[in-house]
Chains A and B, each alone.
Chain A
Amino acid sequence: MAVASFRIDTDDQGRRHVRLFGQWSLRAQENNFAKLKKSLSPFFSDPSIHWDLQSVEQLDTAGATMLWIGWGGKLDGRMVLNSEQIATFDMLSQLALPPPVKKSRDWLAPVADWGNLVLAFFDHVRDIIQLIGLLLLEIVYLLRHPRDFPWREFCANIYKSGVTALPVSALLGFMIGVAMSYLMSKQVRTFGADIFIVNILGLSIMRELGPILMAVLIAGRSGSAMTAQIGVMRVTEEIDALATMGISKILRVILPKILGLTFVAPFLVLWTSGWALAGGALSANIQLDINYRFFFDYLPSVVQPVNLTIGLVKGLLFGSVMALVACHFGLRIKPNTESLSINTTNSVVTAITSVILINAWFAIATRGIGI
């Protein structure tokens, strides 16, 4: 076993020879073909030089290919080879050539890209409408066969996306409440309007922050989990297995996720808003000396209860939209890792974007209520 090496010598007729020695093979671990190629390159370009491979111990395809490409893809009288090596080079010459690379620039490409984006958007819209249609059909089926309602999956989803999210949403709500109240209290104090901190916090948290905080958290937490789960179920053919058992994937996989999240979202809004208000009350108490009891007694009289209703309705809407988006992207996943990652990312981004768009629309639509 010896590393690949070469030597240049001149014979009595004045011809120069490159003699190769050792293992010109990947099996000799110390070989570095990049370096060998570099040190051989002056001889590759010299048409008068002769090559002697008779002292080579082993020549594998990697070594042969390097030499073959260096020689310009052909053998001639300058190469001294044994029969085995000739067979290797013959085999190499019969392999397919790389396809020519198209370098021409396509000026219409940007237009085509935009067109494709628009088409992709319509593709999504069509798929979502189709999914909603299928869900409605399953609901009609359930109305006629109430015994088939997937209670187990429904409850499991409530637990997974609702109950296990309680600690983190409480922490998040509380900290946001504390921060908001702290900053606001500095502002209201300059106007001597300490008492208005209750109005500001009550309205903003119940109506806006509670639902949005919940939505962002749940989209990142449960939405991505739903997309990935449905995607992997497709990759591992679990969805097909369900189909062969005569079990509808929409009924057993999609519907419980959407109903579960829709059901649990208003409660999460209530829970998050509650902790945010508690955080706000804590900050207000420290900064403005507002008594806890006074804060919560005064709250219902300045913030109309309808604001809470709006918050809960938003929660309901956000929950169903997020679950729908998550399931939609999950069903689009193709059986490869790249598609899984792209669709999971898209699912979360789309869910949060659509929640914020809906929220903006809702703010305008309900501008006359409760303020």
Chain B
Amino acid sequence: MSILPAQMTVQTPICEVCHVYTQYGDNVIHENINLKIAHGDIVALIGQSGSGKTVLLRHIIGLTTPTRGEVLLFGQNLHTMERMQQRRLMNRFGMLFQQGALFSALSVFDNIALPLRELKQFDEVTIHKLVMHKLALVELEPQHGELLPAQLSGGMVKRVALARALALEPELLVLDEPTSGLDPDRSEKFVALIKQIKHALGLTVLFVTHDPVTVAALADCIAVLADKHIIATCSLLELKTMDHPFINHFFQGYSAQLMEQK
């Protein structure tokens, strides 16, 4: 193993958004968005409802293409690649959708096993072991594997979806509203779980949220999307010193809550 490639992998950002513009009809959503996510970061993307956070997330994982500009994942553009390479690159990140997006016709076990089976490298005994490991990782019991998605509670859907996202040992975990629909207690536990898994597996995490508590508990770095631009990319402490109506408003309720606790 030579030293040069190793250095390159450290230096190449996991994800790079360069001069992205998005426009639907006359409706401009993003104007010159730039964002870099380095290896091992936990980045929160916050912004008002309708500010285009989910759209940006969908650009990053290659579901949509920006009107102008480029999105690089692991230093490569998903849309200009060959199909086989594209598939390989897509195995390097896992996505947790807001509603879970579990396959409703498949059991929990089959949902988690699907990406592993698609890889066509493992026999059923190995797959069973790996699925059991993923279930244990998200703190679910083996017998939960037989349930269908419709039989799960909201919190369990999120856990199963997380287990599915982690099935192929990705480097980047992308989460859309990881704590929406969970009560404060559950959401706190889910955040702790993500943190723990992040450290155990050495992940890079990018997530979108509306919840200041989740941001404060999870994020190292916060990107604020407002007025079609990213107005700040910094830590929580730096963010609190900034004066912008959205930022003030976002943390107002949370600060009041913290003051009460003190």
Contact = CB atoms under 8 A, between A and B. Distances in A.
Interface of A: 1-2, 25-27, 29, 32-34, 60-62, 65-66, 68-69, 91-92, 95-96, 98, 334-339
B104 A61 contact: no
B104 A335 contact: yes
A93 to B, nearest CB: 10
B150 A335 contact: yes
20 contacts: A1-B9, A26-B91, A33-B121, A34-B120, A34-B121, A61-B169, A62-B122, A62-B130, A68-B129, A69-B129, A92-B133, A95-B129, A95-B136, A95-B142, A96-B132, A335-B104, A335-B150, A336-B148, A337-B104, A339-B105
Interface in B1-38: 1, 5-6, 9
Nearest to A27: B169
Q: Which 7 A-B pairs have the closest CB atoms?
A: A336-B104, A338-B105, A96-B142, A33-B121, A95-B132, A26-B169, A34-B121
B262 to A, nearest CB: 39
Contacts of B125: 69, 98
A263 B119 CA distance: 54
A91 B136 CA distance: 10
Contacts of B132: 95-96
Interface centre among B5, B121, B150 (most CB of A within 10 A): B121
B133 A91 contact: yes
A1 B5 contact: yes
Contacts of B120: 34
Contacts of A337: 103-105
A64 to B, nearest CB: 9
A54 to B, nearest CB: 16
A26 B1 CA distance: 18
Interface in B142-194: 142, 148-150, 168-169, 171
B90 to A, nearest CB: 11
Contacts of B148: 336
Interface in B102-138: 103-105, 119-122, 124-126, 128-130, 132-133, 136
A324 to B, nearest CB: 27
A27 to B, nearest CB: 6
A168 to B, nearest CB: 32
A169 to B, nearest CB: 34
Interface in B73-97: 88, 91-92
Contacts of A69: 125-126, 129
Contact of B149 (A32, A68, A95, A336): A336
B122 A61 contact: no
A338 B142 CA distance: 24
Contact of A62 (B5, B105, B149, B169): B169
Contact of B128 (A32, A68, A91, A98): A98
Given A66-B126, A98-B125, A336 B105 contact: yes
Nearest to B88: A29
A36 to B, nearest CB: 9
Nearest to A96: B142
Nearest to A61: B133
A34 B120 CA distance: 8
Given A27-B171, A62-B122, 7 more contacts: A1-B5, A26-B168, A29-B92, A62-B130, A65-B130, A95-B132, A336-B149
